A and B are shown apart, each in its own frame.
Chain A
Amino acid sequence: MIAVDSTTHAAESQRPKLTSRLTEPRVYCALAALSLLLIIPAISGSTFVVHVFVTICVFGALSTAWNILGGYAGQLSLGHTAYYGIGGYTAALLLQHFGLSPWLGMPVGAVLAAAASLGIGYLCFRLKGPFFSLATIAFLEVIRLLAIHFNGLTGGSAGLVVPLNIGWAWMIFREKFNYLYIAFGLLVLCLALSLAIRNSRLGYYLTAVRERDNAALAAGVNITSVKLAAMSISAALTASVGAFHAMYLTFLEPETLFSVSTSIEVAMFALIGGLGTVAGPLLGTVLVMPLAELARGWLGASANGLHGFVYGTVLVLITLTVPGGLVGTFGRRFAALIDRLPGGGRRRSEVAARAPANISGALGAPILSARDLVKNFGGLVAANNVSLTLHRGEILGVIGPNGAGKTTVFGLLSGFLQRDAGAVEVIDRDGISRFPDTPDGFARLGVGRTFQIVQPFGKLSVLENIMIGAFLRHPKVEDARAAALRVAKLVGLEDVRHVEAGTLPIGGLKRLEVARTLATEPSILLLDEVMAGQSQADTQRMVKLIREIRDSGVSVIAIEHNMQAIMNLSDRIVVIDSGRVIAQGAPQEVVREARVIEAYLGKDFAYAQGL
């Protein structure tokens, strides 16, 4: 039987204590800047200034919540006010009909909005790019029209006035400053959640999904469920803010609560500040929002349209000049300045994890079996009854001429292609036979694959790329970092670990493919032409690395065009041509087979050689 030592050898927790973090300049500067949102209106004392700051907090919170979906996950929802409106109407209607305090209406609205977002997300996540955005707008329109139509419930276009019970229990005050406390609290809540997600496995997974969904799948990420997680958190926060804002405005109408242009504004603040950054959405709001409020306050109705015109123009200019937003473009330099302040520049100590225990088990027993796999692309039969078996602890080379169907077979063995017929059986770590059918399902069972055309997460650092793989077995960030560092050392990427992955040369990218896959700690490793584009020295190194991996108990299938390397490396060879397995056996036997020579070099050559 197979016994797998599953201890993960977690690195010692390196997370500094909260109190000691307060002395870090990034932390105390951020807190000081945030407190200005309370201090400035407190000093000024004007109700108009208080109103402007309440609005900043509300929109900053909305934008921060939107950014969890729109920025981290890259799903550009332009119908996000649907959740804002649901939160607002839920709180207001529960108050009106049942006398329920908005403090209770707020979580009810959040739950309703999260539920609605799961339904909307489940349907809309099938769509990409602009079509996702359009579908979210369409959902918002449907909700708005329904809110107008069912005027018995919502008051319709005529609107709904919130019952004016004064006091903390009812979230309605004579003293405007009390509103600011709540708005500020909501903003802090959104920021804290956003920061926590950013620095968690979910945050890394969202970035991975945004950058490259295929590579994320190969790292075992269930794309739909991480997107839905982001969507529902974002919707629940948005609804909570909506509930408060309804109490603040005391008047609800479908046109303003379910407004497309508000949705666009919220997304716009995030873009201006920096999509996918923690501070960006609030920064964008602080910079742009007061302009609009001041114009409205000073110029009144004569300036109707002015703020929208400025918003739209700024939006276009930002896309043309600093598409990364302010934080995305200048954030790093600014942070370096901050780090010079007292207490700054502390470096996280880096500890590499120990290697996971060797995978033990009966050598030579089948661990992955493909039976009669068939895959058609239109009229082309790319895999025609392919059967092959990988034995525990062996290196199986897959060779064949260009277009033979090798990569198709890999796709079928890793779940990336849906087979038309046949079965793939994987023996998991507990020795149980399994038949996974999704790419992430294969990855979770320990089948790791690399891509022939490299799939790095271009904007993440090399180490973060490897961490995406490491999260599969190490949910905690620090453990994943340590595990990734171990793998980076193993494949020789340690020196470039902080480099943005998109800037690596092809040899480095090939090794990064291997590293990200190795970090998932697979028991079966599928390597698709990892030696192509490598120098002679790198090839030697890769051969050595693959042997070491095998010696740690991992079973390997490698597609390779570098004949010398693959013959040298493999215990057994499978030859594929025109979608069929035409030969298999020990390397030296296979190369002498007439059919193999014919497949590679043609009939005439085989004939001329007298084979």
Chain B
Amino acid sequence: MSIFVQLIINGALLGGMYAIVSVGLTLIFGIVRIVNFAHGEFLMVGMYAAYLLSAKFGLYPYASALPVTMLLFGLGAVVQRVIIQPLLSADEHIQIFATVGLSTALMNLALLIFGADLYSVPASTAQHTITIAGLTLVIGQLAMFACALALATGLHFFMKSTVLGRAIRATAQNRNAALLMGVRVERIYVIAFGLGAACVGLASALVMPLYPVTPTIGAYFVLTAFVVVVLGGMRSMYGAFWGAMLIGLVDSLSGYYIAPDLKEVVYFAIFLVILIFKPTGLFGLGAGAEGSA
């Protein structure tokens, strides 16, 4: 029984990590309507940045969260401006190729610069565990869980209550109508893409103490992030959060009860079943609301 409870706790904490990695993807898809296949590589760039800040300047990974987040905002904004913007009205397959190409280029650039070696930061506190009522909790995972919750809530209120947030939502719902109402749509897209990337920046500073960075770390996380976003109904922040929790639990339980190397098979299977039979996601809006994806 205690093993089961521990697995549930582990799953929820793992879910916190998947949530924080996926929030940015949801944001970008929800607003710019682009599936960013380079999302994982954004995470990788952020992790290398956090690693360098820690190795060269001795910055504690959590302290690098601010500069890394800003850096990623810039990266996202530039990518939107230079690559995505000109392709907004292009065929869908061209958009897919563009972000897939970006993903390939970034991953191999990292391989070229850093090689295939693992780099990790010596961050003792984040890897420490605390024990509450016989349950073991990793501090770094707790921090991620709290940040994921705070980020999802914060973004929710930002979208709901600020002028910029409203403009972003208006653009997401109907680009042309927003344009006619005087919203500077192109700038909104740049901000939205930047924000989405910034969320990954925050995530990378939090993930860095727990996972060593390699050029392929993005590929490791990104498919899970896609699973989470699809489960969450593509555009809903809370949907993504609950999707992440579900995948965290599936990950933790199937890793223990089925086989550690098949846990991904289990959640990809769930992903495919949901994508195919309920394409609006588990926690998503009903079909037809806001135009289905």
- A residues lining the B interface (CB < 8 Å): 70, 74, 76, 78, 123-124, 126-131, 133-135, 137-139, 141-142, 145-146, 148-149, 260-261, 264, 267-268, 271, 275, 303-309, 311-316, 318-320, 323
Contact = CB atoms under 8 A, between A and B. Distances in A.
B102 A316 contact: yes
Contact of B100 (A78, A139, A313): A78
Contact of B271 (A138, A261, A312, A323): A138
A386 B116 CA distance: 68
Interface stretch (B137-145, B194-202, B235-243, B261-269): B261-269
Contacts of A131: 35, 230, 275, 279, 293
24 contacts: A78-B100, A123-B276, A124-B276, A127-B279, A129-B92, A130-B92, A131-B35, A131-B279, A135-B272, A142-B268, A145-B261, A145-B264, A146-B265, A149-B259, A304-B115, A305-B108, A308-B108, A309-B108, A312-B103, A312-B104, A315-B98, A315-B100, A319-B87, A319-B95
A271 B35 contact: no
A138 to B, nearest CB: 5
A135 B97 contact: no
B262 A312 contact: no
A319 B226 contact: no
B109 interface: yes
Interface in B82-134: 83, 86-87, 90-98, 100-112, 115-116
A141 B268 contact: yes
Given A134-B35, A305-B109, A142 B265 contact: yes
A149 B87 CA distance: 40
A611 B68 CA distance: 77
A138 B104 contact: no
Nearest to A307: B108
B276 A316 contact: no
A11 B12 CA distance: 70
Q: Which 8 A-B pairs have the closest CB atoms?
A: A312-B105, A315-B101, A305-B111, A308-B108, A312-B104, A130-B35, A305-B112, A309-B108
Contacts of B227: 138
Given A131-B230, A138-B268, A320-B86, A145 B101 contact: no
A314 B105 CA distance: 9
A296 to B, nearest CB: 13
B87 A126 contact: no
Contacts of B276: 123-124, 126-127, 135
Nearest to A315: B101
B223 interface: yes
Contact of B96 (A123, A133, A308): A133
A123 B271 CA distance: 12
A308 B102 CA distance: 11
Interface in B169-193: none
Contacts of A148: 261
Interface size band for B: 35 or more
A267 B104 CA distance: 13
Nearest to A125: B276
A327 to B, nearest CB: 16
Interface of B: 35, 37, 83, 86-87, 90-98, 100-112, 115-116, 215, 219, 223, 226-227, 230, 259, 261-262, 264-265, 268-269, 271-272, 275-276, 279, 293
Interface of B is mostly: helix
Contacts of B265: 142, 145-146, 149
Contacts of B96: 76, 129-130, 133
Most B C-beta atoms less than 10 A away, residue of A70, A74, A148, A316: A316
A316 B83 contact: yes
Nearest to B288: A378
A318 B230 CA distance: 29
Given A134-B226, A320-B83, A309 B97 contact: no
Contacts of A303: 112
Contact of A76 (B93, B102, B269): B93
A309 B276 CA distance: 34
B100 A135 contact: no
Given A149-B262, A312-B102, A139 B111 contact: no
Contacts of B93: 70, 74, 76, 129, 275
A323 B261 contact: no
A304 B113 CA distance: 9
A297 B37 CA distance: 30
A277 to B, nearest CB: 14
Contacts of B115: 304
A356 B96 CA distance: 45
Contacts of B104: 261, 264, 308-309, 311-312, 315
Nearest to B113: A305
Nearest to B234: A131
A305 to B, nearest CB: 3
Contact of A313 (B105, B111, B226, B272): B105
Nearest to B103: A312
A145 B264 CA distance: 8
Nearest to A123: B276
Contacts of B37: 130
Most A C-beta atoms less than 10 A away, residue of B37, B97, B111: B97
Contacts of B111: 304-305, 308-309
Contacts of A149: 259, 261-262, 265
Contacts of B102: 312, 316
A55 B102 CA distance: 25
B258 to A, nearest CB: 10
Given A127-B275, A131-B230, A309 B105 contact: yes
A315 B105 CA distance: 9
Nearest to A145: B265
A146 B87 CA distance: 37
A316 B105 contact: yes
A479 B275 CA distance: 42
Contacts of B94: 319, 323
Contacts of B259: 149
Contacts of A315: 97-98, 100-101, 104-105
Contact of B87 (A306, A313, A320): A320
B171 to A, nearest CB: 20
Contacts of B87: 319-320
A305 B110 contact: yes
Contacts of B264: 141, 145
Contact of B90 (A126, A275, A319): A319
A307 B105 CA distance: 9
B204 to A, nearest CB: 20
B114 to A, nearest CB: 9
Most B C-beta atoms less than 10 A away, residue of A133, A139, A271, A312: A312
B206 to A, nearest CB: 25
A320 B98 contact: yes
Contacts of B90: 319, 323
A283 B110 CA distance: 29
Contacts of A127: 275-276, 279
